[in-house]
Structures are given as C-alpha cells and as structure tokens.
C-alpha cells in the first residue's frame, strides 16, 4: 500500500544509489522506490537502513559459499570416510538447487572421482561399501525445525546405529547460512551434530544486532512489527499465519536469487495486504556478479557513508614518524573493517553488517596485516588504532566542510550519478 509519494531529489536518488551495490543490484531503482513507498515519509531513513544491512546472495555467490563449507567439511571429517551428501527436505525445496550447485563444483567432481564424496537423496537405500559419514545439506537453516523433523521422521539416529558402515555419533549438517537460534537449538536436541555453516544472529538481538552500529535497533524493530503484523507468512489450511519478525521469530535479513526464506522479515518479501515486496519469494532475473561488486569501491562507499566515514580523497597519515597512506580507490574495505574492529564488533557481526563471508573477511585481514595495521590476531595494532582515529577525524572535518559548502549552493543542480549499472 502506497503511503507517500517518493520525491525525486538528488539527495534521495543518491541514497538509493548507495543501496544498490549492497543488495548486489538485485532490484531496479523503481522497485526500491515502490518498496520505500510502503512506509510513511518519516520512516524512509529507517527503511533505507534495513536495506544497508540486508544480505542478498546470488547463485554464484551461494555456490562459492557452499564450496567454502564443503572444504571445511572435507578438512574436518576423517580422510578415510566417504562423505555422503544428503538433501534432507522434500522436493521441490531449495536444497535441490543446493545439490545441483554442489554437483557442479570442480572440487566436488574431484572428490567424487576419488571416492571421497557422493550425493544421494535416498540414504536409506544407498549401497554402503566403506566407512561413511552422513552430511545433510541445505541453503539456509532458520529455526532448525525442518532438520529436526526430518531427523526424527526418517529415524536417522537409529539408522546410523544399525549400520556397521556408518560411524556412531558422527552426523553432519551443512548450509550456506544458519541462524544462531537454530544452531543452538539443534545442538541441544542432537548433541552429536556437527554443523558447517556461516552463522547469523537475530537482527534485533540485544548484544549482537547489526543495527546497534546505527543506534536504531529499537526503532527498526518497532517498524518491522508495525507493518509485519499484517503480513501473512504462510497458510495452514484456511488459516493465515503471521510472524512479523519472520517465521519462528528468526529476524533474518537474507535472500537468495530464488527468493528469501520465510524466516526473513516479511516486510521484505510478503505481498499480502497490498504490500509491495522488494525481494518476492519468486525467482527473478538478477544481476549476479556479487564477487566483483563486493570488491568494488561502490559497495563500500555506501557502508562508509552510513558509518560517517565520508573519505573520497587520498590521505597521508603520519604515525610515529612513519607515513601511512589511505588510498580512496583501494582501501574502502579495509578501513570499513578496521572501523568495526575499533568498535569491538566480532567477526560474525562484521560479516553480517557487510554481507560477506569469513573467507572474504580473512582476505581483508591479510591486506591489513600487509599494511601492518592489523596483528596476527586480527586486531588493530597501535599504528592501526592511530590510523583509523586520524581518518575518522579527517572524515568529520570533510563532512563539516561539505555541509558548509552546500549551504551556499543553489538548488537547481543537475543530478549526475556516482555510478551507473555498477560502474563507478
């Protein structure tokens, strides 16, 4: 339902321009505007903040994340075992896509050829010829209910115990992402379960909310409840089921190319009650060049602007007699991570804020170590702390000067975009 008419001012268009790289250009400007028009005018800034923290995962990135977890599983499961991958929910669930993506990995092909790994849906009828570890797979795990239901209905624990080729107390679960709530629940219910997945916290949790950085967690939760209360999440028979914070109150901020899980806040995907979704739960054609986008300047400029780090020019920072250069073309990702480390955010929250994986964060850490701004424990060195403090001061001065200049500018400006179709 349209609650206001979007004003096409240079400032408003610029805000959307900052959003697009963060959501991997998965939505057109017009669609973003229609989604923003669901809200009242005074709520637009909060709605934009929601998008800045949203984690959109295209197929090629999903495949990359799965490969990362496959590698983790390969390293942690005994080398003499066959790893049997099992999509654990019924067709046509998204894990059919997961099984397909994994089967097309070069690493999987090598491991399958060497007898290290295989895929089956019917593990009960599979012909076991060597010691085997079962690895159940999915794209996303929210509450953990789906896996627990499958585990009990298919009597997986009993099946393992009755099969000599299966290792007792060895059961594995792999996903691109698992919510912390679901991870803790499954480990409590199935103590022998080992999970390979990137972890994400409920977006409004008290200690680990990514919104704490913008100091708007309470207001944003109130906004999600205000509109999410009237948005249907699923139907059971003739009954509409509502979860304003996502199914199972998971408070997820995640979508894949083929749509978000219903654990994601419904304000992003529900089309009930004349609500215009920005990420409908239907597969659309998307721009999926996520790896390049997440390494681009445009991706981090929007995040840095949100953090108050408006650093658009090069700087030389003098620290203890040594000169450290900030390169505005190369150092956006490192400075953004250093800023968050300086705020004492842990790795999981940093990944959640930026929408990157641990592997991608590790690459940024490595660059920071080469610059001697991070130490072996991935914390700020003394030089790193001084460097980020000086950059923050310079950003504040630059922001003050730009405001002063704008006070004397005329309003009849021609809008020129900072980027077009991802090109800066």
- Hey, what CATH class is 59-200 in? alpha beta
Which whole number is the average pLDDT over 111-119?
95
Range in 25-39, 243-257, 311-325 with the lowest mean pLDDT: 311-325
Residue 355's CB is within 10 A of a number of other CB atoms, namely: 24
pLDDT digits (tens, 9 = 90+) for 132-175: 999 999 999 999 999 999 999 988 888 888 888 886 667 899 99
Question: How far, in Å, CA of 169 to CA of 65, rounded?
Answer: 26
pLDDT of residue 424: 53
Residue 203 has pLDDT above 50, yes or no: yes
Q: Domain spans of the chain?
A: 10-53+203-274, 59-200, 296-406
Contact 353, 336 (CB under 8 A): no
Which whole number is the average pLDDT over 255-265?
92
Burial 248-263 (b: 16+ CB within 10 A, else e): bebbbbbbbbbbbbbb
Range in 89-93, 297-301, 344-348 with the lowest mean pLDDT: 297-301
Residue 331 has pLDDT above 60, yes or no: yes
**Torsional class of 241: left (φ above 0), alpha (ψ -120 to 50), beta (otherwise):** beta
pLDDT of residue 345: 78
pLDDT digits (tens, 9 = 90+) for 215-253: 778 899 999 999 999 998 888 888 888 999 999 999 999
Query: 170 or 114: whose pLDDT is higher?
Result: 114
Spell out the residues 6+ positions from residue 154 whose beta carbon is closer than 8 angstroms to its own: 124
Query: In Å, what is the CA distance from 74 to each residue of 80, 137, 169?
Result: 11, 14, 18
pLDDT of residue 294: 52
Q: For 160, how many CA atoms within 13 A lie in the half-sphere containing its CB?
A: 19
pLDDT of residue 391: 72
Question: How far, in Å, CA of 23 to CA of 335, rounded?
Answer: 20
Residue 8 has pLDDT above 90, yes or no: no
pLDDT of residue 208: 85
Residue 386 has pLDDT above 50, yes or no: yes
Residue 374 has pLDDT above 60, yes or no: yes
Question: How far, in Å, CA of 142 to CA of 131, rounded?
Answer: 31
């Amino acid at each position: 339902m349209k609650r206001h008419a979007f004003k096409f001012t240079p400032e408003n268009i610029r805000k959307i321009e900052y959003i697009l790289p963060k959501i991997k250009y998965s939505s057109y400007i017009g669609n973003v505007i229609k989604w923003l028009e669901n809200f009242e005018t005074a709520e637009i800034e909060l709605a934009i903040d929601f998008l800045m923290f949203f984690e959109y995962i295209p197929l090629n990135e999903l495949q990359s994340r799965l490969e990362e977890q496959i590698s983790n599983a390969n390293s942690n499961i005994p080398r003499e075992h066959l790893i049997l991958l099992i999509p654990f929910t019924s067709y046509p669930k998204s894990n059919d896509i997961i099984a397909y993506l994994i089967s097309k990995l070069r690493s999987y092909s090598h491991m399958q050829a060497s007898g290290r790994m295989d895929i089956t849906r019917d593990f009960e009828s599979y012909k076991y010829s060597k010691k085997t570890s079962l690895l159940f797979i999915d794209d996303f795990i929210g509450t953990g209910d789906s896996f627990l239901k499958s585990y009990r209905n298919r009597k997986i624990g009993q099946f393992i115990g009755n099969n000599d080729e299966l290792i007792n107390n060895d059961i594995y679960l792999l996903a691109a992402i698992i919510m912390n709530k679901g991870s803790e629940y499954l480990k409590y219910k199935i103590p022998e379960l080992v999970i390979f997945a990137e972890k994400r916290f409920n977006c409004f949790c008290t200690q680990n909310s990514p919104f704490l950085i913008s100091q708007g967690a309470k207001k944003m939760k109130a906004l999600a409840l205000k509109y999410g209360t009237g948005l249907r999440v699923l139907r059971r028979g003739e009954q509409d089921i509502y979860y304003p914070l996502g199914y199972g109150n998971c408070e997820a901020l995640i979508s894949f190319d083929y749509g978000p899980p219903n654990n994601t806040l419904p304000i992003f995907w529900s089309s009930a009650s004349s609500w215009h979704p920005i990420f409908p739960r239907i597969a659309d054609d998307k721009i999926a060049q996520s790896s390049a986008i997440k390494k681009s300047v445009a991706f981090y400029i929007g995040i840095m602007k949100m953090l108050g780090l408006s650093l658009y020019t090069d700087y030389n920072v003098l620290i203890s007699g040594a000169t450290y250069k900030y390169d505005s073309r190369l150092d956006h990702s490192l400075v953004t991570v250093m800023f968050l480390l300086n705020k004492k955010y842990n790795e999981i929250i940093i990944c959640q804020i930026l929408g990157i994986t641990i592997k991608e964060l590790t690459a940024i850490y490595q660059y920071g170590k080469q610059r001697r701004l991070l130490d072996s424990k991935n914390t700020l060195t003394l030089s790193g702390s001084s460097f980020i403090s000086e950059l923050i001061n310079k950003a504040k001065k630059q922001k003050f000067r730009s405001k002063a200049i704008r006070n004397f500018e005329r309003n009849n400006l021609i809008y020129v975009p900072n980027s077009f179709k991802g090109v800066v």
